[in-house]
Amino acid sequence: MEQTKAKSGKKEFVGVVKSDKMDKTIVVAVENMTLHPLYKKYITRTKKLKAHDETNDARIGDKVRVVECRPISKEKCWRLAAVLERAR
């Protein structure tokens, strides 16, 4: 889970688009490597975020950057900042 802070102090994540079926909404899967406390083995944790995509630009498989924003709906409080890499 690549988390960085934008200039405005808001959280940013880089992830892969898993769904673009909703209008102006995408589901982004963000992966994070965490160390297991007992077994000392790295585990991949996945978090799914719903992000606002105003222009319906992102497609399934695209690598995107999402930024924290005000709540747009019950589950949507992220917005698409940029499409970093297109799916083939």
The model carries a pTM of: 0.87
How far CA 42 is from CA of 3, 13, 20, 34, in Å, comes to 18, 20, 30, 5
Q: Delineate the domains of the chain, giving CATH numbers in brackets.
A: 2-85 (2.40.50.140)
Q: Is it the case that residue 8 has pLDDT exceeding 80?
A: no
**Alpha carbon distance 53, 41 (integer Å):** 36
Per residue in 67-87, pLDDT (tens digit) is: 999 999 999 999 999 999 999
The predicted-structure confidence for 26-57, as pLDDT tens digits, reads as follows 999 999 999 999 999 999 999 999 999 999 99
